[in-house]
Amino acid sequence: MSSKEELPVVAEKTTDAIDRKIAPYMQNRELSWLTFDERVLEQGTDPNVPLLERLNFISIFWSNLQEFFMVRVGSLHDLSLVEKHIIDSKSGMTPNEQLAAIYERCHQLYPKQEQAFKQVNEQLRAAGVNYVTPERYTAEQKEFLSKYFKSNVSPFLAPQIINSRHPFPHLENGAQYVVVRLGDPINAEDASMKAGKKDKKKKKGGAEGVMLGLVPLPRQCKRVIELPGDGFCYALLEHVIGVFAERIFDMYKVKHTNIICVTRNADLDTAEGDDEEADDYREHMKRILKKRGRLAPVRLESAEPLSDMVRKTLMERLDLQKHQLFVTSVPLDLSYTWGLGSNLGDEQRAPLVNPPFSPEWPHCLNHRQRIMDQVLQKEVMLSYPYESMDAFVQLLREAAEDPQVISIRITLYRLATVSRLAEELIAAAENGKQVDALFELRARFDESNNIEWSQRFQEAGCNVIYGFRDFKVHSKICCITRQGEDGLQYITQLGTGNYNEKTARLYTDFSFITTDKNIGEDATAFFRNMALENATDTYQTLKVAPLQIKQYILDQIDAQIALARTGLPSGLMFKTNSVTDRQVIEKLAEASQAGVPCTLLVRGISCIVPGEAGFTENVRVVSIVGRLLEHSRIYVFGAEGPDQQVYLSSADLMTRNMEKRVEIAWPILDARLKQKVMDYLQICLHDTAKLRQLLPDGTYTALGQLAQPGEAQFDSQAYLIQEAKGLAEAPAWLSQAEPGPQVEPQAEPEPQAEPEPAPAPESEPAPEPIVEDPVMQPAPEPESEPVIELTAEPTATIAPGSAMNDAPKKANFLIRLLNKLRGK
């Protein structure tokens, strides 16, 4: 059940009719996710986004969809084979009905992708970036490619033929193949005539009964081939191989060439066979991962329509149906788009990409003093990627060298391939500190990376544990235990996102650091319970799933319902990646009916539909898909005031997070930090450039539609980037700090011209995938930003449930916030 999200409703086959009790305010999660990916694709058509960034968004759409088929469609395919009727608890659909709806929806999305890709490339051509397909090769380019193919491609090819002696090969998941429809073998006479010779020998040049040839794309060859021509012209490797297929299969008549790609189910059951004797769990995971590439196909893509014979052969061999075939003129692998900018000069590239952006050093911390000394004096909250993770990495570096530090404990779900954070933990172990690292080896598509890092940690002397058998450990917690003058001190860090320096530059997350004793004791108990596989609800301050978070949310919603029914102010606000849990959705609908204003800022899936008469009139669902991936999880209970509670969490409002994972939620009690979180939420809710609202029919408002007539569009992410830069120029500590030891932060690496796609985002990817964290890359900021004149004029505070559609109030709110942040 690793990716089934929640236990489905199961009805035995006792009657012909299936009992489907469906609420009118709920929708299917898979179809909602496809609507999210469509919003990603629409960033590729936004004229305010630079052209290469638009192309990257189309690539993100592709990679998201790839992972969706591998995981979600693969999971439904498995469920469809179960003999019982398995019903989706939100939509009442069986697995087969969901699959049919998914394939139908995807057949609608492919033409939109084609149109967006075509439009962007036409505009890029005018900007000097020319994607050249075979029908547009000039004579000069054909001559160049002929020589290039002979020297740089042909030596690395491994063509195959398919006949009775050469059975149909295994097609790798996600790999591209040039498929060639072959005719009869060319005999020696035909070959000699073709060569202009008169050799009359009649000898077969090829094997009998061959119909197809396959050529895998060689990994050793460059995918993007620069061509002669004006500006930067390029061709793709798969097209070049297809053009010269006659050279590869020169003993046959080549009738037709095409490009294909198979997507396979990748939803592995990581518990399968783990009762068998094995060296350890890490070895078990290595064996499981080897199975991923050979699971059942769920999709076949081709660059052109397949001939009847080829289609029949492929569909039979792959056991696929007609609706599982997608024909598209868009390249079947769009990962190459991320490197195109590196082929351009700075002057040509600048207008085609976002302005460079690097996270700033946190304005609340003095980089001239030890971070540890500062966090021992006050609670700190870092806001990624506007603020850099370097401060936390430096804290670990100091802990590794501090003689008073006894231990460092941390959970590791996703790490960067090259990680300074990991190196500091290893250095701490080598310095004699006790380092306990809980690795989640089942983090989808990061399994191999986590296996490698866990081996390195173990070799360095760290105590490596793997968490629960039945629950993924998705919590983000680090506890540094230190011997202070008055006893043990705990420095606890809690995060809404992973300890991954790469994604911390792309994902919006909060990182909270505290010396609160109760939280520190809870953290110590947490790691002890993880080592013992003990799920408990005995924590003092932290709320830990699977036993506490969901029940706490339901209880707090009930409390707001009670307030509303007595006429007292109430409110609910959640910022999350997805909302899929039926119980939470039903409770939100109940709150809405009681008059509680509910605002849901949901990046991806929303199974709750707002505005349904009699159910969700007081629910507002909005979404931001922009340059950065919105990833933080925030729970707000109550109207603004002293009783309002603000929690941060690693858990989305999904059944898998709250019932099948170990997650942590924690309160923000410091008034200063609580206000920081609330200000961040209000900035997001005032976005008029990227914020879109979910409508009762399941669609979203168009980009920019929430802006008032004549009002400049406000991009919250662009604003926060600029605000972080402004705060870095006048940090909070500058007028307060006394001279101290000079501790310079490690230099932030220079941003690459073109970032690689982030992992799936869980593929938390590609870019905790879109399936776990969807695969997402940052989206471009608009060409211009609204200019806001700073004044000191105060305005009324906005309640969490307020729609805030009045333009003057919006502007005044932002003015007030700017003035406050800048100390005016």
Closest CA to 662 of 383, 446, 455, 466: 466
Please answer whether residues 664 and 649 qualify as being in contact, where contact means their C-beta atoms are separated by less than 8 angstroms: yes
Long-range contacts of 367-370 (CB under 8 A, 24+ apart): 367/391, 367/743, 367/744, 367/745, 368/737, 368/739, 368/740, 368/741, 368/742, 368/743, 368/744, 369/737, 369/740, 369/741, 369/743, 370/398, 370/740, 370/741, 370/743
Backbone angles phi, psi at 412, to 5 degrees: -130, 110
Q: Which SS3 state, helix, strand or coil, does residue 761 take?
A: coil
Residues paired with 212 in a beta bridge: 162, 181
DSSP letters, 121-169, are: HHHHHHTTEEE--GGG--HHHHHHHHHHIIIIIGGG---EEEBTTBPPP
Catalytic residue among 85, 239, 474, 686: 474
DSSP letters, 604-616, are: S-B-B-TT-TTTS
Region at 70 (left for phi over 0; alpha for psi -120 to 50; beta for the rest): alpha
For residue 221, count other CB atoms closer than 10 A to its CB: 18
How far is it, in rounded angstroms, from Cα 607 to Cα 25? 8
Backbone angles phi, psi at 553, to 5 degrees: -60, -45
Q: Which SS3 state, helix, strand or coil, does residue 271 take?
A: coil
Backbone angles phi, psi at 483, to 5 degrees: -85, 105
For residue 384, count other CB atoms closer than 10 A to its CB: 25
Long-range contacts of 617-620 (CB under 8 A, 24+ apart): 617/592, 618/591, 618/592, 618/593, 618/801, 619/588, 619/589, 619/592, 620/693, 620/801, 620/803
How far is it, in rounded angstroms, from Cα 380 to Cα 491? 11
The DSSP symbol for 670 reads -
Closest CA to 692 of 778, 629, 624, 597: 624
Closest CA to 604 of 732, 704, 692: 692
Alpha helix locations (H) across 212-337? 237-243, 245-248, 281-289, 308-318
How far is it, in rounded angstroms, from Cα 218 to Cα 176? 10
30's tokens: 């898979």
How far is it, in rounded angstroms, from Cα 473 to Cα 129? 45
Cα distances (Å, whole numbers) of residue 86 to 4, 25, 96, 163: 11, 21, 10, 41
Residues paired with 572 in a beta bridge: 598, 637
363 is catalytic: no
545's tokens: 């799933």
Using alpha carbons only, how large is the chain's radius of gyration in Å?
Answer: 28
How far is it, in rounded angstroms, from Cα 57 to Cα 430? 43
How far is it, in rounded angstroms, from Cα 564 to Cα 605? 28
How far is it, in rounded angstroms, from Cα 420 to Cα 501? 8
How far is it, in rounded angstroms, from Cα 324 to Cα 142? 35
Amino acid letter, residue 48: N
**Beta carbons within 8 Å of 273's beta carbon, 6+ residues apart:** 284, 287, 288
Q: Which residues are identified as catalytic?
A: 474
